[in-house]
Each structure stands twice: as C-alpha cells, then as structure tokens.
Structure 1
C-alpha cells in the first residue's frame, strides 16, 4: 500500500483506481477556432466552399483560395481553420453583395484570434450559421499583389477552385507580416 499511496495522484489504472476525466468547457465563440489534429479537414468545408464559390461567381468576383486550404492542397500538414478567400480590393463590394445574397447562410463574426492568424484579423470574417466554420475576405493588396498581378497569377486547380501559387502566397504572407504594426 505504500506504493499506491505514493502514486495515488497519478490515477494509474493498474493500481485499481479509475482515471479522472477532466472536462474543459470551451465557450461557443471560441469553439469555431478550435480544430482537430494536423491534417484534419473540417467536415463543413466541402459544404461551405461550393456555396460561397457559387455566390462569388454570380457576382462576377475574382477570387482565390489562400491560407490553410491552399497549404493543405500542397501537402503541408496543418490544421485547417477558416476558409481564407483572397480577392482584389475593387471586388470586395461584389463579395459583400454575394454574401448578402446568401441570406441566412452566414453572418458577420468577430475577428480571428491567435498568433498564427493575425494577418487575417483586420479583415471581414463571416460565420456559417449552424456550423463551426468561418470564412474571411482578405484583399490581395494585403499580400502585396496588385489587381493585375492577381488576375495573372490565378490558375485552376484539381479541387475546382482557383488557387494562388504557393510561392506567391508565402511571399505575400511575409509581406503582410512585415507590414503589420
């Protein structure tokens, strides 16, 4: 019994004690930022992305995927969080019009929190109603791209959504982080 007394705080099952389960309460507004293991793709992305894409195309908005989904496409093991959509500043009004046309599908949401996502914090973020999924509109200029550069660099991908080339995204991310206050 001396051994079990010394190790009773460990709750090791071999001593006949049950493990304590610690429950962590996560507020609902933070749950949307909490993701699974590296490489996990939230189940809501395949539902949200086509609807958002269709709305943006109906408004004739130039756009592309950046952020976690772009990195996932290139095989970078990372947790997929918000859907980051890059578009020229002049197309932002069309993008907001597209979001309004979706009606109750989504609503404006608080800025991103966290060190990894600080480059997207100042930009418009929307949460999809009834899901733990958000999307963010990030102007191309935040990545150091002009409107002409943006149109020239886009290319179709195997996932049926336009992507920014990985080197351009990485360089733009460096520019965005270097220019932050």
Structure 2
C-alpha cells in the first residue's frame, strides 16, 4: 500500500509543471529595441521637416503687421492649421513657422489680414497680396467636416499659398469668405480703373 501511495505521489509530482520563469533580459531587450525604433522614426521625421524647410528657404521673411493697421472689419479666434502651396492641400509649407499649428487671432482691416499666433510667429498679409477665400474641408493633412475650414489664398515671394483657419464659431466662416473676396474684387476693380 505504501508503494502505491509513493507511486501515486511520484505520478502527481511528474504531472505538475513548475511555474515558468520570466525571462527579464529578453523583455528588457525588446523594450530597449522598441524605444530605439521610436527614437529613430522621430529623428527621421524631424530631419524630413528640416529638409523641407531648407527646400523652401527661398521664401522671403513674412511681412509684419503695420504700426497702424486700420479699423478692424472682422475678428476671429480659432486655430491655424497650416499653409500649403495653393491648390495642393498636402504640400505643407514649413519655412518661417508656417507649418506650425497654433491658436490664432485673425483681424481683417482695410490694409489686409493680421494673423496673431500665440506661441508661433505672427504675420500680416497685405491687401494687395490677398487672392481669394473659400470654405474647404482639409489642408496640410488636417481634414474636417465639409466647409469646416476657412482657406485664404495669398501671394508671398512669387508663390501662391493657401492658409487654413478654423474659427471657434464655424458660422463666422461665410462672412469671412464674403469679406475677403469682396476686398479682392474691389482691388481688381480699382486696378482696372487706374489702368484706363
């Protein structure tokens, strides 16, 4: 009987498996490898951003706001989503901080469009450089609902640029499109009148 109990106990012991030992060195190796991969991808993205800025270095410095910009026609608070080459919504312009997304305060005056960006470079678009405005749904990789983005086309350094803005109150966009486009048409009419 004792031998039977001994055999049963030996059988039970053979069936029991020991708890798996955690391979800490293997896990740490994987975590270090993953961290290095993430750092490499971030570094490559940063190098791409710098390379794009170098390619766009022919773009002149952005105009600053005049000391007396005139009376405000419209004001808007919202977000600046970036600038691209006009008509090419994925060709982001990064030179002079135009690729940096930020909060924005827009002011439209008789002299042009004043773009104030806390934490990023401010700039001013003179009236003569404003081309058009429209409602769109995307710019520089940012896609919103149809008509959720105010896109202003303007000229700078011999290039046409599209800059995307989103108001905190999207209902304001239509008034901005109308005001900016009427400024452009007034500018064309006055130029044609002086040419005759």
Which has the higher Rg, Structure 1 or Structure 2?
Answer: 2
Which has the higher relative contact order, 1 or 2, with Cα contacts under 8 A spaced 6 or more apart?
Answer: 1
* TM-score, length basis structure 2: 0.29
